[in-house]
Amino acid sequence: MATEDCTPCSEFFSWELDFSTSDGLKQEKQLSASQRRCYSLCRRKSFAAFVASKQDDSQEEGSTSWSCCGQTFKEHPDIHKHVARTHDAEIKQLTWATYECPLSQLEEEPETQHRAEAVDISAWIPNISHISEEQLQKGPGKVILYYHYCQVEDPHVICAWQKALCEKLYLTGKVRVAIEGINGTVGGTNTATEIYIDAMRSHPLFKMDREDFKTSDGGADCFTDLRVGVYKEIVPMGVDPDVISYRLAGTHLEPEEFHKEVEALLAKGDLCKDTVLLDCRNFYESKIGQFTQCLAPNIRKFSYFPDYIDQNLDLFRDKKVLMYCTGGIRCERGSAYLRSKDVCKEVYQLKGGIHKYLERFPEGFYRGKLFVFDERYTISSNSDVISDCRYCGCPWDQYKLCSTRLCCQLVLSCHSCRQDGHTACCPTCQTKGQAQSEASSTAPHHKEECECTDGRPRIPLDV
């Protein structure tokens, strides 16, 4: 299977705008990045409110259904799909009505940005006059992954500093800054990335340790550009950090401790009924690599994780939960959300994520590739291939983007199948791509659902 509506960078920079008309496209161009994020939030809230208005209150306690257009829906995915397909125009009207109020507030944002630019950030920029441009731009490189939760009084100042620092070091990548902290992944030469780590560690606000940075072979070419921005959350779970804070996170386990817990779980086999090994990542990540005997939710992005927890609470009731993700950041908020439900006996998370685990146990209980959100797509520490080619079924775990224009899904298609022309995520997209190639390249195209998106529930029920 391939990913749904997901580019490799969507975890860091995504909004769910749906401008499918010429007026919508015109409106989109008139919105700033912050306004688009606000519009996306208003759309999600409007969608949820519309669905809630269709709930049938006459049902018996413990039973939920929705009535709309003369039909009755028993499952969340069914009513969501119906509303998305049938009531799109009404959702847009509700969205714009909701959006009008915060719009005036967001129009004041440039003043905040101007104030941030006025702050002197030069003290946080290291002196690199003794280092040549060649050292910063050429030679072996690395990709750095890190995050740090802390109180950031003025995120725009930190944003300006990060942009200036990365540009000075010729780094590319993505950095998210928020009141709750910072989250980034950047690539550059070994010299440049080492200077960056030192600058981060010496900043008085973050006080980070060397082990807080995960590194892998790569460089500036692993990203197409540099994107630094201020956001509500440093990892987009879609829940207000003031409501569910990282401070509520589960107990952190060092890789050695986590390894022992998984070892004990596997030793019990099917007899182990009191522990859940939970993968917090998206389905296209766990598809190519995961811990043995884990529960890997079939969700498209992390903002669906809270809904997944809500609809599958019985899976975790009275259980010990061991959570893991790529570098640890999703577990911080994810474990906090799960703990807020007050159903688990204990909630633990892998400190440093899979990245740190593989440094210590390259041939441990994690098998397959580790998905990364850059142009590499994957990194590996063992030779296991746990996924298959979408077309012929042979072992394959190297993702490529769907060849159909405007489809941002990833596809597992082996060399042989690609040579035979199977370069799209599904037959529907393959046919659509052929039709697009025959049409005028200047004609407008709007994203459509294909087999990969149409047949996948938004929130799977695994209870």
- The residues carrying an active-site annotation are 325
Cβ neighbours for 235, distance < 8 A, ≥ 6 positions apart: 11, 147, 176, 183, 302, 329, 330, 332, 333
Burial class from Cβ neighbours inside 10 Å (0-12, 13-18, 19+) for residue 84 reads middle
Q: Which amino acid does the sequence have at 273?
A: K
Contact 177, 165 (CB under 8 A): no
Report whether 280 contacts 302 (CB < 8 A): yes
286 Cβ neighbours under 8 A, 6+ residues apart: 279, 294, 296
Residue 168: both structure tokens together: 């000075």
The total of other beta-carbon atoms located within 10 Å of residue 287's CB is: 24
Report the alpha-carbon distance of residue 4 to residue 411 in Å, rounded.
10
CB-CB contact of 413 with 400 (8 Å) = yes
How many CA within 13 A on the CB side of residue 417?
A: 22
Q: Determine the Cα–Cα distance for residues 210 and 352; give it in Å rounded to an integer.
A: 12
